[in-house]
Amino acid sequence: MSLKQLLDLTGKVAVITGGSRGLGLQMAEALGELGAKLVISARKQHELDDARKHLEGQGIEVMTIAADMSKRETVPGFVDQIIERFGTIDILVNNAGATWGAPAEDHPDEAWDKVMNLNVDATFFLTREVGKRCMIPRKSGKVITTASIAGLSGNPEGMTTIAYNTSKGANVNFTRALAAEWGKYNINVNSICPGFFPSKMANGLLDTMGEKMLERIPLNRFGGEEDMKGLIALLATEAGRHITGQNIAIDGGTTVC
């Protein structure tokens, strides 16, 4: 099989939660360019409308679903809509996420719950639903979770995001555990651990600590609009079929320092 064939997603159905902007939209662009039919979800319909217009302008078939993935009772109905239109799900990208900044000793209960419900619980419940209904019966699938380098280590001085770090550490071990369990079904389970990418969620932090953060990156730059595309393409296609249980940092070298 040629490399072009290994990277071909023609006919595949890819679901990207939090796919209307930022890293999610960047990954959607990559998978759509490789031929996948896309389903993107987010809470805000107007952001989904903008994303759909952008992607359809590139000739990509897109379905949008406005959904709050932190409400677990909505997950079966969410999957129902996708199966009704496309028949199955081949690739699941768990990208929707939330963060909250507060010192550990003063962290609000409701903020902790918000981060865990979306970053951890939603990832599990959606993956379970898609695995049970689509991937395990067909003995084929790719599960990719957006974790973070924040799940691989502690924080530099001045950052107080204990709930976020804890949730991303959970994503990291979720990936390892599920890869071991679902390998027998020919399902690849991996996570991407981004470093610092300018985004709506990260911009406040970059505004206050950007210069100091840049000093910690060997490549001396933040992630850009193309920097997620190569890795998501590898993990979502047959080019990465022998990669599973891995948490891959895409961080300009931050984690090696």
Q: Write out the catalytic residue numbers.
A: 164
Task: Judge residue 48's burial from the number of C-beta atoms within 10 Å of its C-beta, 0-12 exposed, 13-18 middle, 19 or more buried.
Answer: buried
**How many angstroms separate the most distant Cα atoms in the chain?**
56
**Residue in the block written with tokens 């001045």:** 158
Secondary structure of residue 145 in the 3-state scheme: strand
Q: How far apart are CA 131 and CA 6, in angstroms?
A: 23
Non-local (6+) Cβ contacts of 11 within 8 A are 35, 37
Please provide the distance, in angstroms rounded to a whole number, between the alpha carbons at the two ends of the chain: 38
Is residue 141 within 8 Å of residue 91, measured between CB atoms? yes
